[in-house]
Amino acid sequence: MLRRATSWVAVLALAVLAFIGVSPATAGGGAGCNAQGQCNIDIDTPGGDGSSSGGGNTDPSTGLTPGPSDCQVKWGQDGKPKTIPCTHNGASWSGGCYWSLADPQDAPPSGKDPGKGAWYKCTPCPDGVDMGYGNTRPIVCGFATTTWRDTPPPGIVRLTPAQAAAALIATFQLKGVEIGKTPSDGNKGAVGLPVWLWVKNTKDPLAWGPYSRTATLGGVTVTATATVRNIVWTMGDGGSTTCANPGTPYTKGTAGPSPTCGYRYTKMSPGEGASPYTITATSNWDVSWQAEGQGDVITTQTSSTAQARIGELQTVIVNP
């Protein structure tokens, strides 16, 4: 029976060991068997990964770490090491367990990101692996548990669909938009006059979308598509406007406000218009993904800036 790892499991295991007259297992410590041949396995965990050699650097594209190449346990009264397979039925030995992705995946714990972590199954003594206890299976080997981990255990070769999607999206080099505006660079606007705002590089998929890629990561083929949902234009004077469109480019001689995306300043920029406001265009992206019949939307942001000097219109009275 597969059970969630909880403190009562550890308590029960200790109680069973006390009942059969066996001391609890400790990493690198002693081990023993009772008169009935029920043995306490002592996990040999040099380096904390359940192996005597192996491992390697994490793959930055997937977050996966190679497993050990030499795996052992210590068992019995003499404490001699027993070499065991480092992998078994797709599971990898590490820290006293054969680890594999739990299937199915339950909802993550509160506050945990399914694009990073996952539920993993820990099987200390799987059927089909000689752990060195002969014909008598230790009672302490009866529990298989699942545990949430924010990073995959060493030797795991498969990602969940959400993890594969997050890894793919992390490779996207999305960027901020090229800002079009009035007043244009080098010119000065005025309080109360309409400011036009628009995106100059809408044909660049990395700036406006849609941008789509398909890749196989951690044994999962995933497709992700990024599009800009809206842009929040923060105008530098404490005000902002949100446009769910790329705006309309200004044409010289056009009067009135932008029909799609604009703003009006109510006060001059610093220094009575001598210094500019900084306009920040924050693009809110929706990145949808699909893999193995699953899918979701991940949000991200990019930004870019421009400057605008805003003065004040002066009225000149001419005597007739």
3-state secondary structure 257-282: CCCCCEEECCCCCCCCCCCCEEEEEE
Phi then psi for residue 252, to 5 deg, are -55, 130
Alpha helices in the chain (DSSP H): 7-20, 161-169
pTM, rounded to two decimals: 0.75
**Residue 36 near residue 52 (C-beta atoms within 8 A):** no
Sign for the pseudo-dihedral over CA of 233, 283, 252, 275: positive
User: Would you call the peptide bond into 183 cis, given omega within 30 degrees of 0 as the criterion?
Assistant: yes
What is the CA 85 to chain-centroid distance, rounded?
A: 31
Per-residue pLDDT of the chain (320 residues; tens, 9 = 90+): 344 443 333 333 333 333 333 333 333 333 344 443 444 444 443 333 333 344 567 887 888 999 888 898 876 555 678 888 999 999 999 888 899 999 999 999 999 999 999 999 999 888 888 877 655 555 556 578 999 999 999 999 999 999 999 999 999 999 999 999 999 988 999 999 999 999 999 999 999 999 999 999 999 999 999 999 999 999 999 999 999 999 999 999 898 999 999 999 999 999 999 999 999 999 999 999 999 999 999 999 999 999 999 998 755 455 56
| Domains of the chain, residue spans | 2-157, 167-311
Distance between CA atoms of residues 241 and 235, nearest Å = 8
> What span, in angstroms and rounded, lies between the C-alpha atoms of 243 and 158?
40
